[in-house]
Amino acid sequence: MSKLRFTISMSLDGYIAGPNQSLENPLGEGGEQLHDWAYNLKTFREMHGEPGGETGVSDDVLREGFDNLGAHIMGRGMFGGGPGTWDESWKGWWGENPPYHTPVFVLTHHARDPLVMQGGTTFFFLTDGIESALRQAKEAAGVKDVLIGGGAKTVQQYLAAGLVNEMELHVVPILLGGGERLFDNLGGSGPNLEPVRTLEGPGVAHLKYRLANRGSG
């Protein structure tokens, strides 16, 4: 059965982006450090059309996180281009061949026509909320999974609504002290977590959980 899941890097103090995010610095101050563990891995480099790279536990985890995907969901901030009415010359951060290779459903308050890119990626811009986006993403994915790409507010909305089935946190040993916290704005005590596994890689701990909530069936 198709699952809704996310895989995300997080600091020890719970941030997935640093303070003062901008078009020039989309991950905020210090935010690039959250992903240092991944940049030289074989899977990461393949996703971005680059040769070589390291293998091992972290590469296995990263590759598994992108297996069996049929669609992605992300927020307007992750797609980028700034707030408000679209500048339609903006086509994302990733060039003409983004690393998604599936339909990507972008949550936004401003309508825009679908954007067809190379490599099988098409961005659809949706203005009617998270449940509509999930329904359309699951229809596109079929029996495959749907991955929430981010950012924090998008993940929080799906967590608060009880729609996430599985999450993997890549916890890195840094303290950002500010920025976007993953587990804010959930209301109540949040979802019930069932640990699946804990793995250690160079400079990162990989923590995988199932979520017991109304989206788990």
Q: Which domains does the chain have, with CATH numbers?
A: 4-17+29-84+96-212 (3.40.430.10)
User: Is the pLDDT confidence value at 212 over 90?
Assistant: no
Of the ranges 87-96, 155-164, 186-195, which one carries the lowest mean pLDDT score?
186-195
Query: Are the CB atoms for 73 and 104 separated by under 8 Å?
Result: yes
pLDDT, tens only, 51-75: 999 999 999 999 999 999 999 999 9
User: Is the pLDDT confidence value at 215 over 50?
Assistant: no
d(CA 184, CA 31) in angstroms, rounded, equals: 18
Predicted TM-score (pTM) of the model is: 0.92
pLDDT of 190 reads 73
User: Is the pLDDT confidence value at 109 over 70?
Assistant: yes
Q: Pick the residue with more confidence: 162 or 23?
A: 162
The two beta strands, 145-150 and 115-116, are unpaired
d(CA 80, CA 38) in angstroms, rounded, equals: 22
pLDDT of 214 reads 53
Provide φ and ψ at 39, rounded to 5°.
-60, -35
The residue behind tokens 């109304």 is: 214
The 8-class DSSP code of residue 123 comes to E
Residue 155: CB atoms within 10 Å: 24
pLDDT of 216 reads 42
- With a CB cutoff of 8 Å and minimum separation 6, the contacts of 69 are 102, 141, 144, 145, 146, 147
pLDDT, tens only, 113-161: 999 999 999 999 999 999 999 999 999 999 999 999 989 999 999 999 9
pLDDT of 95 reads 92
